[in-house]
Amino acid sequence: MALVERTYDDSRTVAVETGPDGSHAAPQLSHGQLLLLQRQADGCRFIMEVKLKKELGTSTLKSTGHSGGGCISEGQSYDTDHGRVFVKINHKSEAKLMFDGEMTSLDAMLQTGTVKVPKPLKVIELDTGGAAFAMEHVDMRSLSKYLAQLGEHLADLHLHNQRLKEKQSTEMQTIGKGSGQSDIPVIDKFGFHVKTCCGYLPQVNEWQGDWVAFFSQQRLQHQLQLLEKSYGDREANELWSQLQLKIPHLFADVEVFPALLHGDLWSGNVAECSDGPIIFDPAAFYGHSEYELGITGMFGGFGKAFYNAYHEKIPKSPGFAKRNQLYQLFHYLNHWNHFGGGYRGSSLRIMKDLLK
């Protein structure tokens, strides 16, 4: 058997086995075995849909034929007594943790009123293993018309916590303070109150008061520790031992205020609907607003209109380009952990560039 990389429609790659002639290897199953597998799959689907009916409080659960999903989970739309919903399904043991984080992320962004996201409904543990996540169904198409509006909305999301802080400071100086206070608390640290997953790997979200320490330890170092367990890559470890000493210098004279981030804003997690842009599949936490723009440049799909509108509200700070590379490094390491050595070269190249 050989391993090759297959690129999926979301522009991410995974390793798949091939036969000696380069064809994709598949187990040879008899007709009876195939029928048995189909019956088992149908039985699991029936059990799952019975559970969904109960948990969603609906007597109707009819598949619409609309399906979707990415690298990690599959998805299906259903008509219910309460309207159409979209259900993500994942059979991994960590699926509930992953979906709990996604639901909390969507909820946090929804509360800001800055950017459109699907309304989360419920995370459901499945009797057959794994979990399902039900949310509002939204008719979407590829993002094209609303690029500039997405840039504006994303900047508003990133500025929301800072604006709350400024509003709170103003109210503290006003008689009768608190009459117009937001239900959303001001966050003055970096992290998140639940675990979130970028892909299927849980992120370390414990609160830290210092952004450089948070990002170095709980993002980059965590990824490199996972790589050490899987690959024991000596060159990556040597580069990291040098790079971690240089990272603080990339933030000289830069003030970082915690911003609520989507956390995985690549082009496969954005779209548009009839009334504007929409973002989904988040891995939220409070961090540096520039972090969000690391992955936007990795797979394309965002144009000048998006960046111009974003930076009209949040201008680039000195040293932006180098920090953008640093933030891309996290995503390359994360992809290496998810999809294998195809991302090793890019990860090491960025580390070397940052050390120049």
Q: What SS3 class is residue 269?
A: helix
Tell me: pLDDT of 6 over 50: no
Give the model confidence (pLDDT) of 126-147 as tens digits. Answer: 998 999 999 999 999 999 999 9
Q: Where in the chain is the domain with CATH 3.90.1200.10?
A: 147-169+184-355
Tell me which residue has tokens 């699926």: 95
More confident residue, 205 or 14: 205
Tell me: pLDDT of 160 over 60: yes
**Do residues 317 and 254 make contact, with C-beta atoms less than 8 angstroms apart?**
yes
Tell me: pLDDT of 11 over 70: no
> H or E stretch including 48?
helix 31-56
What pLDDT shows up at residue 1?
Answer: 31
| Averaged pLDDT, 147-160 | 99
Banded pLDDT at 65 (limits 50, 70, 90) = confident
Percent of the chain with pLDDT over 90: 78
Give the model confidence (pLDDT) of 241-254 as tens digits. Answer: 999 999 999 999 89
Tell me: pLDDT of 103 over 80: yes
pTM: 0.86
Give the least confident one: 15-19, 235-239, 352-356. Answer: 15-19
Percent of the chain with pLDDT over 70: 85
Q: What is the DSSP letter of 342?
A: G
What pLDDT shows up at residue 20?
Answer: 39
264 counts as catalytic: yes
Report domain 147-169+184-355's class.
Answer: alpha beta
Mean pLDDT, rounded, of the chain? 89
Phi/psi at 284 (nearest 5 deg)?
-70, 155
* Catalytic member of 21, 100, 264, 281: 264
Rounded Cα distance, 51 and 122, in Å: 12
Q: Where in the chain is the domain with CATH 3.30.200.20?
A: 48-136
What pLDDT shows up at residue 40?
Answer: 54
What pLDDT shows up at residue 169?
Answer: 85
Alpha carbon 140 to its chain centroid, in Å, reads: 18
Give the model confidence (pLDDT) of 12-52 as tens digits. Answer: 444 433 443 444 455 577 766 555 555 555 556 788 889 99
Give the model confidence (pLDDT) of 262-289 as tens digits. Answer: 999 999 999 999 999 999 999 999 999 9
Rounded Cα distance, 162 and 200, in Å: 30
Phi/psi at 328 (nearest 5 deg)?
-65, -35
CATH number of the domain located at residue range(s) 48-136 in this protein: 3.30.200.20
Phi/psi at 101 (nearest 5 deg)?
-65, -40
Q: What SS3 class is residue 150?
A: helix
Give the model confidence (pLDDT) of 189-204 as tens digits. Answer: 999 999 999 999 999 9
Give the model confidence (pLDDT) of 69-98 as tens digits. Answer: 666 889 999 999 999 999 999 999 999 999
CA distances, 343 to each of 54, 70, 85, 201 (Å)? 43, 19, 35, 16
